[in-house]
Amino acid sequence: MESISNRRVSPLKMTWSMAKKEWADLLRELGQPTFRSKQIWQWLYAKGAQSFDEMTNLPAALRTALAERLSLAPWAPLETVADEGGTTKLLLECEDGERIESVVIPSGGEAATLCVSTQAGCAFKCAFCATGQLGLSRNLEAGEIVGQLFTARAATSFHIDHLVFMGMGEPFANYDNVLKAVRIFNDQDGLAIGARRITLSTCGVVPGIKRLADEGLQVELAISLHAPDDALRSRLMPVNNRWPVAELIAACRDYNAATRRIVTFEYTLVDGLNDTRLCASALADLIDPSFARVNLIPLSPVAHFDGNRPSPARCEAFAAILRRRGINVTLRHSKGSALSAACGQLRGEQGTGNRERGPGNGGKNVEL
């Protein structure tokens, strides 16, 4: 983290990126007792303060000093689009002009899940992901990840109680910032979003899975699998050339052993490509119900990918083969596809115009 000088730094770059220890360091620098870091944390994350002036249990001089250095200015979306079910896509512009997207997915009543982006663009080039076609621009700061929650809260009436890291980018390619954001979301003195309500989704970056297993967090893990064998998976997911299926499955089994969390395998069904009975049987051979479950998602249309959504009957037949093998299967229907908010469809566009290049899309092709 860059040093905090006597200039105001935006919340995206600094305020929302600061861990508790960094608040304590700043307070020490300002000649203040470090217990005030907990008070500030509670104002920011539990009470949702919009300015340092609201932090009335802090000395006035400290509030002034903080306001001179840091900002709590809201991050307003460039565009907000909602469908009739309440699924809402937010287009956000970072300070350097990079554009990312978040999606709010209602889950019943006032509650909603927020799908956050972790990178502007993505380098992994998964076949049916719009983000992957754009290439990687850069990693997001932890504050740019945390800030997506504040923007979503302000832009919608929902209470965000679940988070899925399934927007633009590969979370494990930005591991440190993602984990820092997870710990801020999870902190019991602040937002207090339980680890089991946070899902990290990866295309199959095995070192990230192994690292996460050692973090002492019970975060949910989702894997974009999409094919049961190396030949087909390498065609759809180039990451498979680096970490093939067997290595990926072994890492997931170890993750379950370390955390006791059931791993979710996301499998997008593409007509005639990976939705055959043979594929279903091969997938059933890979998945041990003791450590994993499967989400099946019929393909959402993506302009650059030449594939079709299978018929409901084909999807049901695929699911039935897995169920007969004792596997916990959910056949999902992607919410938000009408506004291009389904996974694999986010690409940082404004209005109807496509950007030549921009913060990537989102997409693990998983159920939102």
Site for ligand SF4 in 180-209 (CB under 6 A): 203
Site for ligand SF4 in 132-151 (CB under 6 A): 132
Report whether 43 contacts 189 (CB < 8 A).
Answer: no
Report whether 342 contacts 336 (CB < 8 A).
Answer: yes
Under 8 Å CB-to-CB from 199, ≥6 apart: which residues? 162, 163, 164, 165, 166, 219, 220, 221, 222, 264
Taking residues 153 to 182 in sequence order and writing x for each that binds ligand SF4 by CB under 6 A, - otherwise, the string is ---------------xxx------------
Taking residues 217 to 256 in sequence order and writing x for each that binds ligand SF4 by CB under 6 A, - otherwise, the string is -------x--------------------------------
Binding-site size, ligand SF4 (CB under 6 A)? 14
Report whether 208 contacts 175 (CB < 8 A).
Answer: yes
**Parallel, antiparallel or unpaired: strands 292-298 and 119-122:** unpaired
Instruction: Sort 339 into a burial class: Cβ within 10 Å, 0-12 / 13-18 / 19+.
Output: middle
Cβ at position 116, least distance to ligand SF4 in Å: 12
Candidate ranges 35-43, 106-114, 119-127, 257-265; the one touching ligand SF4 (CB under 6 A): 119-127
Instruction: Sort 109 into a burial class: Cβ within 10 Å, 0-12 / 13-18 / 19+.
Output: exposed
Is position 101 annotated as part of the catalytic site?
Answer: yes
Is position 95 annotated as part of the catalytic site?
Answer: no
Exactly one of 131, 295, 334, 340 binds ligand SF4 (CB under 6 A); that residue is: 131
Dihedral sign for Cα atoms in the order 336, 337, 339, 340? positive
The answer to the question of residue 104 lying near ligand SF4 (CB under 6 A) is: no
Cβ at position 268, least distance to ligand SF4 in Å: 10
Active-site hit among 101, 220, 349, 367: 101
Residues forming contacts to ligand SF4 in the complex (CB under 6 A) are: 122, 124-126, 129, 131-132, 168-170, 203, 224, 363-364
Residues annotated as catalytic are 101, 343
